[in-house]
Each structure stands twice: as structure tokens, then as C-alpha cells.
């Protein structure tokens, strides 16, 4: 079932979730701060482009109908507090200046929301929550995301089938298993009202001391991992749920956790091509909807010392231009210390957009980040064309997944027949036996 969105008889639209371990941001009252830091003229925008002509293209028409404030809002995907859209929460008030999830959505014109275990109590409750969140977004349907990798990172595990994680699936050496698990995972997410998963992990776990990836990866062989990642992307597509390959340009060879520090990857460009790049190339070839950046420094790809999330040479130069990715680039959670060490929280959001990111996930201070990006567009530091590029990509994702003109309406009755179904439990057992 879908809820049709319209404004003055014209359909309009658009957007969301995390790098695996990013938790809720620490308390910080929203502010109206303007962009922080010194203007960066070295990476001021992506290559200038002529504004697209809307014509009969429903996505471009939708972009035209959004105000500047609404366009900026589409870039953001925070975690909201409460188990219903109308839950009154001191956390929401303290962090976002609005008491309920519905009011936060309205205040910031959000394009998406990410769900965490604190948002999950029961099937009927989550269905009511996601339907309520969509209802609160009057003009633009939401991307509702979560991190359901299965295994170690499973935000919806209280309700969903206990599928094996990536390492167990990789041990089967059978990409068909990867596709089947992704499809089943996507089916269970979709009936709960979740339409974007921050999975699969495309990192190649070549460092046994890696504290953040480990068994979240399909393995340590780039070719084998690439096959599993491509299959998972296709499986999510089978379920009509958006997939996200993460963490670009590759988080597999680090001994530092980017949630608490800033890892440095010392691979040469040739090593990156051989070890880290193949799974991302495979994901793009399989039609992945989004790619998530990593909060890692990769000196041989960008000597600036900035993490990949803030690196134009990596996000625009490598991912967009070299690998040809045309979909949504998402940041990893912007509340993680790996991306907050060098710049303020408003400046981080601005620099992520300048680097090439489209979706700004979980900023530490949403109010400050929103005002910083809005101010950067008004000042010309971020061109309106650059902003429109991101909004257009976000709406293209929605169009691809059938969400452009209608908001999904989940059904608790349907969910009860899909979640932890006998078929899915048999699949989980089959994978474990094969591995």
C-alpha cells in the first residue's frame, strides 16, 4: 500500500544511515550557527554543470518545486528518539529543538531517518512508527534506513530472522547464498517500512587486528568478496530495498576504530586497485543504490590528511569519475570521532558536500550542520547547481525503488507473515550448514 503525496495537485519528492557502529550523537542543543572555519577555495565545488532542464522528467520537476530550505533538508538523515512519530522526548528537544520525531521532520524538512534498536519494540509498533514518520513528511516521502548487515551489526534483530553475518556467508563460497540472504533481509525490512539498508560491507578484511570490520566483511580475498558483494546488491534489489556498499575507499586494513580515532591506510595506489577497489567496482556493476564513505585517511589517494568522507579526490575523483558511480554517496555517521577531529560540526557537513557526498548521516549537531550547509549555499561556497545534483541523485534513488510519487504504508498483518518465516529460518540454517 502507498500514500500518494501531492502539493497543489503536483507530485513532489525525495531521501538517510550508518557505518556500522555509529551510535546516537551526544547531547547538543541545535543552533543557528553559520558555517564554521575558513573558506576552502581549493575544493569549493564539483565541476560546474549547466542546470538541467526539467521538461517531462518527474525527478527534475520535483527538484524545481522544493524551496532552498527543503533541498538542504533532503541531505540529512539523523536518528530520532522515540517509538512513535508523536513520542515526546527530552532527547529530541535537547538535540533538535522539537519534542517529537514528527516535529523534527517538519522543522528540518528531513529527507530521511535512520532507525536504531531503541526505536524497536514490536512489529506493530515499528510499522506504526514508520507509517507515522512518512505521514509527518507532508511534501517529500522519506528514506527510512537502518544498519541491518546481519551478524554483529543487526539493528532490527529483535524482530527479524537471525541470518548469518557476512563472514559466515563468505565461508560458503557461494554467491547465491549471499543473494538469497540479502533478498530475505530486504523482504523483512520492507514489510516493516524500512526501504534502505546500509549494507553490504564491501571492505576486504586483510588486517586481522582490525577492530571495526573483522567478521562484518565477507573475507580477505578481493575477488571472492567482490562476488559476494555483487550478489548481495542484487538480492536487495530483488526485494526492492536500496542497498549501500561500505566503507569507501576500503576500511579493511586498519588497526584503529574510526568511531574513536582516525585510521590511516598506508596502501599504495596499486594496492588499492588490487585489494580495496574490486568489491566496490562489483557493487557498482551490480547497480548498487548508494556507496558509504569511510572516515579514514588514505595518503596515497589524497595527501591532504583529510578523511575520505571530506576528500574531493576520493569521493569525486575516484568514486564518481574513475569508477563511474552515478548513485548516492552517503557519509558514514558524522558523529564519529574519525571525522570530527579536524573541523567543527558545521564545517564537516559543508566539506562533505564539497567533497561529493549527497547524504549526510547522523550529524553530531543537526541544527548547526543544517544551518552551515544552508549558509554555504546562500553565500555561494556551495553552488545551487551542486546542491541540486545531490537532491536529484536522492530523488533518482527513490524513483528507482518506486518511491518517487507515493510514500509506502506498511502493514502489521503482512509483516507478521514475513518476519521470521519458516522459509527464512530454513535459509539461515542452510547457510550455516554450508559454511
**CA angle 3–370–251, rounded 5-degree value:** 90
Residue 84 pLDDT: 98
Residue 24 pLDDT: 41
pLDDT over 80 at 113, yes or no? yes
Task: Measure the CA–CA gap between 69 and 397, rounded to whole angstroms.
Answer: 21
Cell numbers of 80, please? 530520532
Q: How distant is the alpha carbon of residue 160 from its chain centre?
A: 20
| Catalytically annotated residue among 197, 276, 306, 332 | 332
| Catalytically annotated residue among 247, 259, 267, 424 | 259
- Residues 316-355: pLDDT tens digits? 999 999 999 999 999 999 999 878 888 999 999 999 999 9
Residue 255 pLDDT: 59
Higher pLDDT, 307 or 209: 307
DSSP 359: B
Residue 130 pLDDT: 98
Residue 18 pLDDT: 40
**Average pLDDT for 392-419:** 91
DSSP 149: E
pLDDT over 90 at 45, yes or no? no
Residue 103 pLDDT: 98
**pTM of this structure:** 0.87
Residue 11 pLDDT: 29
Higher pLDDT, 5 or 264: 264
Report the DSSP beta bridge partners of residue 150: 153
SS3 182: helix
Percent of the chain with pLDDT over 70: 85
- Choose the weakest-confidence range: 176-180, 198-202, 253-257, 285-289: 253-257
332 is a catalytic site residue = yes
Averaged confidence pLDDT in the chain: 88
pLDDT over 50 at 17, yes or no? no
Domains by residue range for the chain, with CATH? 10-25+57-434 (3.20.20.300)
Contact 213, 152 (CB under 8 A): no
197 is a catalytic site residue = no
Residue 293 pLDDT: 97
pLDDT over 90 at 118, yes or no? yes
- Residues 124-150: pLDDT tens digits? 999 999 999 999 998 889 999 999 999
Residue count of the chain: 435
- The closest alpha carbon to 39, from 390, 346, 340, belongs to 346
Task: Measure the CA–CA gap between 358 and 291, rounded to whole angstroms.
Answer: 10
Q: DSSP per residue over 4-68, as a string? A: E--BTTB--------SSS--PPPP-----PPPPS----TT--SS--PPPP-TT-HHHHHHHTS-H
Percent of the chain with pLDDT over 90: 76
**Average pLDDT for 222-247:** 98
**Helix (H) or strand (E) segment spanning residue 295:** none
Residue 31 pLDDT: 35
pLDDT over 70 at 276, yes or no? yes
Amino acid at each position: 500500500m502507498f500514500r500518494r503525496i501531492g502539493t497543489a495537485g503536483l507530485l513532489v519528492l525525495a531521501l538517510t544511515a550508518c557505518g556500522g557502529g555509529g551510535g546516537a550523537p551526544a547531547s547538543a542543543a541545535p543552533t543557528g550557527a553559520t558555517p564554521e572555519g575558513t573558506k576552502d577555495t581549493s575544493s569549493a565545488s564539483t565541476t560546474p554543470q549547466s542546470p538541467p532542464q526539467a521538461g517531462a522528467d518527474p525527478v527534475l520537476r520535483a527538484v524545481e518545486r522544493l524551496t532552498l530550505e527543503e533541498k538542504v533538508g533532503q541531505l540529512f538523515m539523523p536518528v530520532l528518539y522515540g517509538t512513535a512519530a508523536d513520542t515526546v522526548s527530552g532527547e529530541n528537544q535537547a538535540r533538535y529543538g522539537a519534542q517529537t520525531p514528527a516535529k523534527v521532520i517538519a522543522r528540518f524538512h528531513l529527507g530521511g531517518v535512520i532507525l536504531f534498536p531503541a526505536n524497536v519494540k514490536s512489529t506493530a509498533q515499528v510499522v506504526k512508527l514508520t507509517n507515522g514518520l512518512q505521514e509527518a513528511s507532508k511534501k517529500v516521502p522519506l528514506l527510512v534506513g537502518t544498519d541491518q548487515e546481519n551478524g554483529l551489526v543487526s539493528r532490527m534483530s529483535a524482530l527479524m530472522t537471525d541470518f548469518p553475518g557476512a563472514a559466515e556467508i563468505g565461508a560458503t563460497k557461494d554467491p547465491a547464498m549471499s543473494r538469497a540472504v540479502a533478498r530475505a533481509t530486504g523482504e523483512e525490512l520492507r514489510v516493516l517500512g524500512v526501504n534502505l539498508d546500509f549494507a553490504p560491507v564491501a571492505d576486504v578484511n586483510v588486517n586481522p587486528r582490525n577492530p571495526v570490520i573483522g567478521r562484518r566483511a565477507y573475507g580477505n580475498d578481493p575477488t571472492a568478496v567482490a562476488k559476494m558483494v555483487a550478489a548481495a546488491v542484487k538480492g536487495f534489489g530483488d526485494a526492492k530495498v536500496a542497498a549501500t556498499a561500505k566503507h569507501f575507499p576500503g576500511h579493511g586494513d586498519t588497526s584503529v576504530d574510526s568511531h574513536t580515532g582516525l585510521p590511516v591506510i598506508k596502501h599504495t595506489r596499486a594496492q588499492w586497485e588490487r585489494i580495496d577497489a574490486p568489491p566496490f567496482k562489483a557493487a557498482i556493476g551490480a547497480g548498487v543504490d548508494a556507496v558509504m564513505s569511510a572516515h579514514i585517511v588514505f595518503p596515497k589517494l589524497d595527501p591532504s590528511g583529510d578523511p575520505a568522507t571530506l576528500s574531493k579526490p576520493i569521493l569525486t575523483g575516484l568514486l564518481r569519475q574513475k569508477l563511474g558511480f552515478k548513485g548516492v554517496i552517503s557519509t558514514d555517521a558524522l558523529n564519529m570521532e574519525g571525522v570530527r577531529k579536524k573541523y567543527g560540526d558545521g564545517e564537516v557537513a559543508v566539506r562533505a558536500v564539497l567533497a561529493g557526498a549527497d547524504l549526510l548521516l547522523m550529524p553530531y549537531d543537526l541544527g548547526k550542520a543544517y544551518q552551515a550547509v544552508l549558509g554555504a549555499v546562500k553565500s555561494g561556497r556551495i553552488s545551487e547547481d551542486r546542491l541540486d545534483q545531490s537532491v536529484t541523485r536522492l530523488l533518482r534513488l527513490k524513483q528507482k525503488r518506486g518511491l518517487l510519487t507515493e510514500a509506502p504504508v506498511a502493514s502489521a498483518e503482512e509483516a507478521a507473515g514475513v518476519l521470521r518465516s519458516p522459509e527464512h529460518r530454513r535459509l539461515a540454517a542452510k547457510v550455516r550448514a554450508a559454511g
